[in-house]
Amino acid sequence: MDKIYYSDIKETLYHEKMKNGLEVFLMPKDNFNKTYGLFTTDFGSIDRSFIPLGKENMITVPDGVAHFLEHKMFDLKNGDASEEFAKLGASSNAYTSNVRTSYLFSTTQNENECTELLLDFVQELNVTEESVEKEKGIIIQEIGMYDDNPDWQSYFGAIKNLYHQHPVKIDIAGTADTVRKIDKTILYDCYRTFYQPSNMVLFIAGHIQPDKLMDIIRDNQDKKSFVSMPLVTRGDYQEDKSVFCRREVKYMDVSASKVSIALKINDIPSNIQDRLNRELAFTILLDMLFSKSSDIREEWTLRELINDSFDVTFIQERDYSLFFMSSDTEKTNELEEVFHQFIKNMKDYSADPVIFERMKKKNIGMIIQAFNSPETIASLFSRYYFEGINAFDLISLINNLDIKEIRKISNLFDDDLTSTFLIIPEGKNID
């Protein structure tokens, strides 16, 4: 077992790669009562096409299968994993993103037993055709709830219209039609392929004894047998650089209009360091432009174009990247015009070195603060792990970030690569 001390954050990380390929990371927090465990697989909603383990030909599975599998993982041979965690005094949950699926527990007691339970229930799939059919109704009902959520419709609508082929345009849960196509065989194909130890990472943080817990994890894994796992071969989506749909209006039963705009960012760097520099630069840039004290945000607020619902984010994942901004507004046409003008003006943006350094310090402070939250650091670590990055190195990486990176990304703002999505109250005319 490796033991690594990070002096800048005064944290120690324990690491061991199991014989089966599973990488385990433990971060003890002696002054914490809570322990948080996160078990993550590199499998998300965009992984529709792949070569199943032990087979030669690529298959395409229905949209929403990763999310569906997440639901069914909690089925035990005789019971439910959530109930077993509750018996240990712990809470449990799971979530699926476009590129990952994670299973978690949070507890103030029985952390060793909870870790074993987390490993055991995720490393064994127990489904029947009957349970699969029953789950379809539950998930279809969940999809219906998102259909009525204006924030989700606004966010997803703008992103959906950016892409021609890439499956990020498909809702994580799929649609009612695609969910109905999922069966037991499909779930097992996905499970055997993506839930191999070498395609997963386990991160435990909190009130733990790392030497003892690592022994427990090692013994647990040694008792199990796994097929030798090659790298997963995933489908390659031939995505056009252009935008699929430039503008869409959706009428909903809402009290206020919402304007959203998404910007498609092509040519994602293949080099890990270049990818990270771009992501960190975007994070700093968005703070420079849109922090509560920024000139742009103050101006837009004073003009009553935006309110507290205003949201701006940058997303960069395995093979797609985008910028998104949105707000509720009573001035739909004016805000739409302002959003587009902002993107057009970004090519001429000149970053202030003083503000740049200040925002670097702010983000370093936020990362240091994150280490006081087992949930936050576990999520952050697992997210970067599959990018080939150690989240414990983020502070030094931000420190070394040069303002030239801001100038590079300002050239990525191209209004021809935007998609605008408007949500309008039913019966209201926006023209």
Q: What is the largest CA-CA distance in the chain?
A: 67
- What does the alpha-carbon distance between residue 98 and residue 66 come to, in Å, rounded to a whole number? 9
- What does the alpha-carbon distance between residue 259 and residue 325 come to, in Å, rounded to a whole number? 8
DSSP 3-state of 3? strand
182: left (phi over 0), alpha (psi -120 to 50) or beta: beta
Residue 70 annotated in active site: yes
* CA contacts within 13 A on the Cβ side of 286: 16
Contact 68, 140 (CB under 8 A): no
In the chain, the amino acid numbered 281 is A
Strand-pairing partners, residue 233, are none
- As a residue count, the chain comes to 431
Stretch (H or E) spanning 272: helix 272-290
Catalytic residue among 11, 70, 142, 317: 70
Q: What angle do CA 329, 331, 334 make, to 5 degrees?
A: 120
- What does the alpha-carbon distance between residue 348 and residue 318 come to, in Å, rounded to a whole number? 29
Closest CA to 132 of 172, 98, 95, 181: 181
Closest CA to 364 of 397, 411, 403: 397
- Please give the structure tokens belonging to residue 256: 């206020």
Strand-pairing partners, residue 311, are 326
Q: What are phi and psi of 230, to 5 degrees?
A: -80, 175
| Catalytic sites, residue numbers | 70
